Amino acid sequence: MIFDSLIKPKSQLTTLNEDATLAQALATLEDSGYRCVPVLDSTGQIFRGNIYKMHIYRHKSRGGDMNLPVTALLKNSTKFINKNAAFYNVFFTIRDLPYIAVLDDDNHFFGIITHNSLLRLLAEAWNVHNGSYVLNVSVSDERGDLVRVAKEISRFCQIANVISLNSDDKPGKQILFTLPSDVDRGLVDRIIKRLNRKGYEVPEIEDLHR
């Protein structure tokens, strides 16, 4: 389920009615400074798609009729997710979009999730503001690897956060362990030495103090 804190609600957004002309849409986009905004139906409930400033400029430069309805240049009409969708669906759906539209249980437009909000969430998940170091531990992806590595690190300190990543060019997985803010470099070296003795490599150490 998507966190409500990620969603910017409709009441805080600049939107356009589907009956607006391209000229009106361009004026709205220039005034707001956004490169695109959501377009809703005449009731303000149904998401019709996005209108991009770039596409209107291209249309205008080719002598296109600016009195056409904004629906003439709509994009991303099928790019939306439900408010109760699985969280990972956001990452598969948003991709190259500046934001993804979010619909409520009645399929009414509820708001948007932006790339920036996702990046903020990842930063919080990584605990970069409250951590000291991030250890990138290479594992073979055998059953129990995560538990064993976590157990070894926990001998020395708490673990602030864990993220597991698959690598396309390397076998196994990379597990990123964020250590709490009170851990110094001396303790990090002791942890790495212990992990190496247990057969785990730590190819990268990120110093969050920097």
Taking only the tens place, the pLDDT of each residue in 91-105 is: 778 878 899 999 999
Quote the CA–CA distance of 66 and 68 in Å, as a whole number: 5
User: What is the model's pLDDT at position 9?
Assistant: 95
| Residues forming a β-bridge with 137 | 175
Helix (H, G, I), strand (E, B) or coil at 193: helix
Quote the CA–CA distance of 111 and 133 in Å, as a whole number: 36
**Residue 140 phi, psi (nearest 5):** -85, -5
Q: DSSP string covering 55-112, please?
A: HHHHHHHTT--TTSBGGGG-B-TT-EEETTS-THHHHHHHTTSSEEEEE-TTS-EEEE
Q: Residue 159: exposed, middle, or buried by beta-carbon count in 10 A (0-12, 13-18, 19+)? A: middle
Residue stretches of the chain with pLDDT short of 50: none
Give the angle subtended at the CA of 140 by the CAs of 138 and 145, to the nearest 5°: 85
Helix (H) or strand (E) segment spanning residue 190: helix 185-197
User: What is the model's pLDDT at position 95?
Assistant: 77
User: What is the model's pLDDT at position 96?
Assistant: 81
How far does CA 199 lie from the centroid of its chain?
34
User: What is the model's pLDDT at position 99?
Assistant: 93
Q: All domains of the chain, ordered by start, with CATH?
A: 4-120 (3.10.580.10), 127-207 (3.30.70.260)
